[in-house]
Structures are given as C-alpha cells and as structure tokens.
Amino acid sequence: MRIALNNVSKTFDGKTALAPTSLEVPPNRTLVLIGPSGCGKSTLLRLVMGLIGPDAGAVTFDGVPMTPKTSMELRRRLGYVIQDGGLFPHLTAEGNVTLVARLLRWDDLRIRARLSELCALTRLDPQLLDRYPIQLSGGQRQRVGLMRALMLDPEALLMDEPLGALDPVIRSGLQEDLKAIFQRLRKTVVFVTHDMGEAGYLGDEIVLMREGHIIQRGAAQNLLESPAEPFVTEFIRAQRPLWTGEREAAG
Amino acid sequence: MMLRMVQWLVIAALLGSSVHARPAVTIGSKAFAESWVLGDALAALVRQTGRADVEHRKNLGGTEIVYQALQSGGIDVYPEYTGTIAEVLMKSSGRPSLAEMRAFLKPRGIGISDPLGFNDGYALAVMPATQKRYGLTKLSDLARHPDLRLALSHEFIGRKDGYPGLARAYGLRMTDVRGIQHDLAYGALASGQADVMDVYTTDAQIAKLGLKVLEDDRGFFPRYDAVLLYRLDLPRRAPEAFAAMQRLSGRVNEAAMIRANAMVVLQKKPSEQAAAALLRDALGAGQDAGSAQAPSALQVIPWNVLTHMELVVVSLLAAIVVGVPLGILAASSRLMANLTLSVTGLLQTIPSLALLALLIAVFHRIGLVPSLVALFLYSLLPIVRNTYTGLANIPPTLSEAAEALGLPRMAQLLRVRLPMASPSIAAGIKTSAVINVGTATLAALIGAGGLGNPILQGIALRDNALILQGAIPVAVLALLVQGGFDLLDRVWIPRGLRLRG
C-alpha cells in the first residue's frame, strides 16, 4: 500500500502541531518517525488514521483520500497499535483480537485458524487468550494489541510508540520480535518512537521531526554521517547509548 | 438485553392498565378522616341502590388536587366545605352566598348540593394548662400574649380566611408561627412544643386531648358548611346514584360527625364502619356500609406492596429506556451535555406536590398515570448523569482505538463504549431505583395507592402501627432493590471490568 501525505497541516487551538507536510511512505518498508515530545509525529500518525481531520491537504492510500466516507473502509485495511496495546478492558484478549472479524461475520473456523497463526507470529501463549487485559503483563498486552491490529491482515501497520510503557528487558525482546515480524510480513509500516536506538534497529528509513516540521529523512547511518542541521546530531547524541560513553572514555 | 427491557415495559404497562379500569361513579375524598367517612358514606348510599360500579378514591390530598381531579373527570363527586369554595376556588375575600357559589361553579361544569347539615369551621385551640396559665378564653385574648407558639397547618397559614386575616382582625403580632402537618400539631401541643393550633370544629381530637377551643368573639371565621361538589354530568349519567347521595343533605349534624370522626381517629375503626354509623345517625336504622367490608392489614399489605412495585418498576423501566439514550446524547457534545443535564437537574428541583398538581392538570386524571410520570421524571437524573459520566470518562485513547479498528459508530457505542460505561450506568440505575422506592410513597397523595397509603392514613390518624405498615415494607423493598441490583451487576457489567489487577 502506498501512503502519501500531500501538504497536510494541523493546528490545535491556534498552535501548529504539524506544518504543511508532504511525505511518501515507501510500500513494504518500515518508516520510523522520530523526534522530541510535541514534534508532531503522533499527530501525523493520527492524521493518517483519520482520527483527526487535517486543516488542509489530504492523506491518500493508493490514491484514495481519507475522508469521513472512506475512513471505515480504509481503517480496516490498516492496523493501528498504541502504547500498552489500547486493549478494551471489558473484553478478553481473544474478544479484543476478534472484535471486528466477528462483526464482519467471519466463521468460527476461519477465526480459530487466524488466531493460532497470529499467536505463533507474535509468540503469545494461546492459553492467555481467555484472559482479560488486567490479567496480562505489559508485554503480553502489547502482543495482543499487535494481534488485534493484524487480525484482518491489513496492508499497512501504524504504530504509535507501542513499546513506550515497557521495561527495557521486555522492550528489547519485543523489538527483536517486531523486527522479525516486519521482515516476514513485508508490510508497509509507519512506526513512531522517540528512541533513536529503536529507530535505527527497526527502521529501513528514519524521518526526524521537530516542532511540526520534517527536518531530515534517510537511513540511520545517513542521519549520523550527514546531518541536515546541527539539531540532528544534537538529537542523536542526546540519546547516545551507554557504550558510546565508555568507548570515548577508553579512547 | 434492550429487547427484553422493552418486553418488560409492555407487560408492566398492560398489567397497570388492566388493574385500573374506571367505574361509573367515582367518589373522591381529601386527606383527612372526616372526608373519608363522608366518601365512604356516599359510596354506601350508591351501593344501596344496587349499583356495584362505584369506587371511592380515598385520601387524594388537598383542595387543589381533589378539585383538579373533579374538574378533569378523575372523580365525579367529593365532600367540600362552603368556606373552602369561597376562599380557595373563588378566591373571594367576601362571604359569597350558596347561590353565588353555584353561579360561579356552573360554567365550570360543577354543581353544589344542599348543605349536609354540619359546620366544620376553623377554630384555634390550646391545651387546658395553657388556658389556665394565660387565662385564655377568646381569640382576642391571644393579642396579649405574642410569645405564644403557634403550630398551624400550611393551608391555614396560606389562606386569607386563615391566619393572615385572623391576625388582622384580632391585631395579633405573634412571634413564633410555624407551619406543620395538621395531624402532627396535636402531638406538638400535647408534648408542649407548641401552644396554639388550628382545629376544625368537628375534630375528634378536641374531646380526646381536652383541647379548649377559643371563642371567635369577633366572628372572624366563615362557615364551613359541608356540601357535595359534583360534576354536572353526573345527574344525567347516574341519576339514581346521584339521588341516593343527596339523601345526606340536611341530615348530618356536628355531633354525629364528631362521633364518626372519633371512631376512625380515636378508636381506630375502619372508615367504612364509621360511615355506616354516620348513616345510622343521619338516616335512621337499617343502614349499613353496603358490601364495602374493610380489608384486614394482612390483605392490604401485599396489595400495597404490589401496587408500589408496579409504580417503581414501570417508572424505572421508562426512565432507563429514556435516560440512557439521553445520557448518550449528552456525551455527544458539550452543548448537549449542558442542555440535557440542566433540564433533568431542573426537574429534580420541582417540589413533589407541585409536580403532582401540574401533572393532574396536564393529564386530566388522577392516580396511576400522573404518579408514573412524576416518578419517571424524578428517576431520570441519576440515570442520565451516570450514563453521561460513564461515557465521558472512557480514556480517549480507547475511544480512538475503537474508531481506528474501523468499527461503525453504532458498533463503537454498543460493543465498546456502553459496555465500558456499564458500571457507571448500573450505579445510576441502582440509585434511581432505591430513591424511587421511597418517592413512590407520594403516589398515594393522588390516589395511585401503594405503600404511601398506610403512611398517609397513619399520619392522618396519628397511628404509628399504620405508618409502620407502610414504612417497614418500603424499607425492606429498598434493601431488596439494592441487593437485587448488586446481583444484577454481575449480569450487565462485563467480567473484565469487575476484576482487580
């Protein structure tokens, strides 16, 4: 699926959240949006999902614009994952995952088959499907959230800081699993994070944002070696992993 | 679940209408014993003509409510007093004659019978000890003791021919005048919490407590000759019943009325029995109360409970069916929230008597319908507010998650938002239900029956056992409703929301 933003802008209460922005998301690749808090990366993702309407411009999917008329159809072709999974507390894990499929009257056999596929893919113990969100760990909730997003086999995945609430060990395990899943599914992925390490690890390409503007777009190496402006280096250095400091100290 | 609720509602409504078929002659009475006795006597006279389709809607409340019921056709006839007609209905400051009263009421479709024979006028009374201490014998003596505490019925305080006129006529400057439910005033006097109260001249309690009636030495109080007010279509519709009731005219004197009142108020006899005694006094031997046998408490309580539950269940179901959608509407925008919540909140502030009187005027009937509507209106607020709060408190990220899944609006509401709001909605319904059980006692004021009946009658008769016959079942019912809804929480609140992490 080819997702494109064409001069899309958004203000909240007179404050610019996203300046007029154009962006092509390459199909079947993982694009990471990164930047400090309030840079507009989550706003951009919510504009893509049609959860908020743009003040100007349009978001298109293979040329079809996101409008109130097309939104329901388009959203079913997209998977959306948010922090902590965004699971509905009144439904079991399975109830969350199969909510839309049941509404679309998938038969039981098809639902069963898809569930076991997804459990294998996201490495979730199928026994956990009967549990309610409150009975699951943070990592498990995130796996269930991913299953829910993937249930209808969407053409693109949009993920808004999905691992933000997890502790580092679990987060690292999930990053590995996500990378494997992205490589295996070859879907179009837009992934929002503020963690440079995560961005470099998961992203084929990185889009660095600040104050509603895109500052630079390119591979992680590219950002590191030829920064478009000092802020790029500043942002990367501010997030420098621990070993960099050790090496510098040793050198 | 929605469908099942609607089914209940229909069944409950059918049940309600079948129980309350309208008889050919309906007699009304006000909320005091004398009125009941006269009403029962009228019913007995009609039954003696061989008619069985006569009903006595006992204990309807004050003048406004009973007169409203007469005008709207809810009742056909009720006992009234000439003084009340002049003051409350004609709002006259003078002393109109019976002919003037007839001329006033005729265009309103109401007729007045000849006086029954006794005067039940206002008077002020004190305890014997008070009389001795202050040397009180006449109303004019009161002016010298402005510190005496007056406990007067609300109606008496409000009427021009009541306290305001009395104070002017006698130059009274009393410092402590408070409104009190008339039947509670006797206790206030007996226990020394008040010194002076208003009484009626046929009041049974005068003899019981040895109350001293102060002489109206300036002739201020108008006469309250008992008459019958009837709809002018009654003589055409039921001539023999009308003729039978007129037999009472000129036949009931004060002494007979006081005796009958005392049977009910002091000896705790059923009013039907007192009515039979009154008829014997007035019309001679061979009178009985017809087929009207007073039912025992054991028969009455289950019937009252049933009627009470009917009131609660029907009004509550209607409030759920209307209140939940209103709450959903309120959650749709800030404007809607303000509008819906302030209107339902406003309803809550209308005093119950005012609301009942208003609804009788609107529906042109007394009893079940206006009672159900009043209870329905009072039940709305907790349901609307809690539905709104439950929906408004859903984390925005989860509302967005539901939207992002591509769920249609209705599915978002039914599958995600309402289930998540269900604990709050259920709590609102529970609150309404429990309050409703208590409020439904007011329905007895306008003849819808229920557990308010024994309570109101008990207050009128100062009979605590009778009050408890209503109050205890109400309390038990409230507890059962609370417990029942606690169990229902397990049904309509999803398990995932009842778990603790």
How confident is the model over A173-213, as pLDDT tens digits? Answer: 999 999 999 999 999 999 999 888 899 999 999 999 999 99
Q: What is the pLDDT of residue B286?
A: 56
Nearest to B404 among A51, A91, A134 (CB): A51
For A32-76, what is each residue's pLDDT tens digit? 999 998 899 999 999 999 999 999 999 999 999 999 999 999 999
Q: What is the mean pLDDT of chain A?
A: 90
For the record, the structure tokens of B80 come out as: 């009234």
Q: Which of B223, B186, B196, B194 is nearest to B101 (CA)?
A: B223
Token reading at A127: 């026994």
pLDDT higher than threshold 70 for residue A251: no
Residue among A103, A106, A192, A187 at smallest CA distance from A153: A187
Q: Which residues from B are below 8 Å from A103, CB to CB?
A: 407, 411, 415
The closest CB to that of A82, out of B397, B415, B501, belongs to B397
Beta bridge partners of B81: B226
Q: A-side interface with B, Cβ within 8 Å? A: 46, 49, 51, 71-76, 78, 80, 82-83, 86, 88-92, 99-100, 103, 132-135, 148
CB within 8 Å: B404 and A78: yes
Given a cut of 60, is residue A159 above it in pLDDT? Answer: yes
User: Cβ A82–B499 below 8 Å, yes or no?
Assistant: no
Say if the Cβ atoms of B495 and A46 lie within 8 Å.
no
Chain B residue numbers with beta carbons less than 8 Å from the beta carbon of A75 are 403-406
Chain B residues inside the 8 Å CB shell of A133: 496
- Which alpha helices (DSSP H) does A131-219 contain, by range? 138-150, 168-185, 196-202
CA dihedral for B415, B417, B418, B419, sign (positive or negative): positive
Whether residues B404 and A92 touch (CB distance < 8 A) is answered with no
Q: How far apart are CA B312 and CA B474, in angstroms?
A: 11
Contact B248, B170 (CB under 8 A): no
Q: How would you class B412 by CB atoms within 10 Å of its CB: exposed for 0-12, middle for 13-18, buried for 19 or more?
A: middle
Of A78, A89, A103, the CB nearest to B411: A103
**Could you tell me which chain B residue has the CA closest to the CA of A132?**
B496
- Taking any CB pair shorter than 8 Å as contact, residues of chain B touching chain A are 397-398, 400-408, 411, 415-416, 419-420, 422, 494-497, 499-501
Radius of gyration of chain A (CA): 19
Nearest CA in chain B to A130: B496
CB A189 within 8 A of CB A16: no
State the best of A66, A80, A88 to mutate against chain B, taking most chain B CBs within 10 Å.
A88
Residue A148 banded pLDDT, cuts 50, 70, 90:
very high
> Cα A136 to chain center, whole Å?
21
Taking only the tens of pLDDT, chain B with its 501 residues reads: 444 555 555 444 444 444 445 568 999 999 888 999 999 999 999 988 887 788 898 888 888 889 988 988 889 999 999 988 988 889 887 889 999 999 999 999 999 999 998 988 888 999 999 999 999 999 999 999 999 999 888 778 777 778 888 988 998 888 888 877 777 788 788 888 889 999 888 888 877 888 888 988 888 888 889 999 999 999 998 899 999 999 999 889 877 898 898 888 888 888 999 999 999 888 875 555 444 445 566 777 888 899 999 999 999 999 999 999 999 999 998 999 999 999 999 988 888 878 887 887 788 767 788 899 999 999 999 999 999 999 999 999 999 999 999 999 999 999 999 999 999 999 999 999 999 999 999 888 777 788 988 888 777 766 788 889 899 999 999 999 999 999 999 888 999 898 875
Please give the residue that has the higher pLDDT: either A250 or B320. B320
Given strand B54-57, what is the order of strands in its sheet?
B54-57, B25-28, B77-81, B226-231, B110-112
> Which residue has better confidence, A164 or B9?
A164
How many residue pairs from chains A and B have C-beta atoms closer than 8 A? Answer: 70
Copy the structure tokens of residue B438.
């208590």
Nearest chain A Cα distance for residue B411, angstroms:
8
What ipTM was reported for this prediction?
Answer: 0.89
